[in-house]
Amino acid sequence: MRKILLAIIALAWFLPSRGQELVVNFTYDTVCLGDSTHLTSNCRIIDTQIPPRDEIVAIAWDVNCDGKFDEGKDTANYSFRFKDAGYHCVGLKAITKNGLAKAASNFIPVNYLEPSFSAKSGCFQDTVVFTNETIIQGDPHVLYDWDFGDGSATDTNTNPHHKFIDYGQFQVGLTARFSVNCGTKVYNSWVTVKNKPVVVVNFAGDTIMHAGDTLIASVQGTYDSIRWLPTKDTTYTILITQGGYYSVKAYDGACPGQAGFNVTVKEHGSDPVVTNLVTPNGDGFNDRWKILNLADIKPCQVNVFNRYGTQVFSSSDYKNDWDGSFNGKQLANDTYYYFARCYNQILYKGNVTILK
């Protein structure tokens, strides 16, 4: 009986005690791609018995979590250089003299970043939106500094919005860095900010006109596209016969310039109300040059001259029938000058434009 009791005591000494615990963990540093990761074992035995009856006799590393634990055997401080950026699974196993065995693993970052961004070229006084396209592998906590190249303050937002203080070309720099020490990288790109064009509208006729008259409004210059309101025309020139407010947007790329004007239409009076446009194209609209209130002030004698002083039309009793021709041929697109004397014998003069 005594021999059996001694055997049990001896076995209890060599077997792990319920009061013992093997703690397996390790620390690591965060590195950039190309640098070595340093792994440090923190394995220990927690033993309620004093003194401890067990000790760690073996450790081994597993740098790809394949379960083999065949790297860095019995090396408490192990260094390994990973070939790829991102998170890598690393394991550590420890074994004690009395047969306790335990393993633990962590996902370890190997950092890589390549800053980049895109931005649509903007218009002066408009906000330009920047899209951060930085490639990040490993630690997602990246800090940014934006230098917009116009003397404004640095912006630390990931996707900033910026209103440039002037127009022109600006070299914008994006600096990216990890929150841990892993170096910085800078990406520079030019951003164009266009000045909005100044739109000039020329008129053939007066913006204060009589009912039935036509005003020609033309945008001066060359643009990528044009849009009038409320007519929704997209041509450089429009014909206006009604009163109201008219506006035009002319686009240089994506940047619009705008102009607007009011047109007032008056009722006919006792003076001749003469149209200032002839468009002899057979569409029934402005095909003839007309004195709109001719029935009230006839007879009217009219004479029309070109810019060189040549008379191209004459009538002692005008019938609103001149179609912009001379000697049976259509006259060239141009501005012509008329003189009219009606029942009150007052001489009136003005200009008329032929536009085919």
Name the superfamily (CATH) of residues 2-111: Immunoglobulins (2.60.40.10)
What single DSSP character describes residue 71? B
Q: What is the pLDDT of residues 313-325, one digit of tens each?
A: 999 999 999 999 9
Model confidence band, residue 8 (pLDDT cutoffs 50, 70, 90): very low
* Cβ atoms < 10 Å from Cβ of 70: 11
Phi, psi of 308 (to 5 degrees): -100, 0
Residue 51: its pLDDT value, please?
62
Pick the CATH number of 200-266 from 2.40.30.10, 2.60.40.10, 1.20.1300.10, 3.30.420.40: 2.60.40.10
Domain 115-194 has CATH 3.40.50.10890: no
Give yes or no on whether 2-111 and 200-266 have one common fold.
yes
Instruction: Give the domain ranges of the chain.
Output: 2-111, 115-194, 200-266, 277-354
**Angstrom distance (rounded) from CA 215 to CA 75:** 93
pLDDT tens readout for residues 116-144: 999 987 899 899 999 999 999 988 889 99
Nearest to 28 by CA among 20, 39, 43, 19: 39
Q: How far apart are CA 273 and CA 320, in angstroms?
A: 12
In the prediction, which pLDDT does 104 show?
96
Share of the chain above pLDDT 90, in %: 69
pTM for the structure as a whole: 0.58
In 10 A of CB 34, how many CB atoms? 11
Query: Pairing mode, if any, of strands 244-252 and 200-204?
Result: unpaired
* Euclidean distance between CA atoms 331 and 290, whole angstroms: 17
Top-tier CATH class for 277-354: mainly beta
Mean residue pLDDT across the chain: 89
pLDDT at 15 over 60: no
Spatial separation of the C-alpha atoms in residues 126 and 111, rounded to whole Å: 37
Mean pLDDT, residues 149-159:
95
What sign has the CA pseudo-torsion 139, 141, 143, 148? positive
The mean pLDDT of 92-100, rounded to a whole number, is: 93
Task: Find out whether 248 and 258 touch, Cβ atoms under 8 Å.
Answer: yes
Spatial neighbors of 328 by CB under 8 A, at least 6 apart, are: none
Return d(Cα 53, Cα 12) in angstroms, integer: 10
Average the pLDDT over 206-225 and give the result: 89
For residue 299, is the peptide bond before it cis, meaning its omega torsion is within 30 degrees of 0? yes
Q: How confident is the model at residue 172 (pLDDT cuts 50, 70, 90)?
A: very high
Tens of pLDDT, residues 29-40: 988 899 999 999
Mean pLDDT value across residues 235-263: 94
Average pLDDT over residues 297-308: 94
Side chain identity, residue 134: T
Q: 101 pLDDT exceeds 90?
A: yes
Cβ 300 vs Cβ 342: under 8 Å: yes
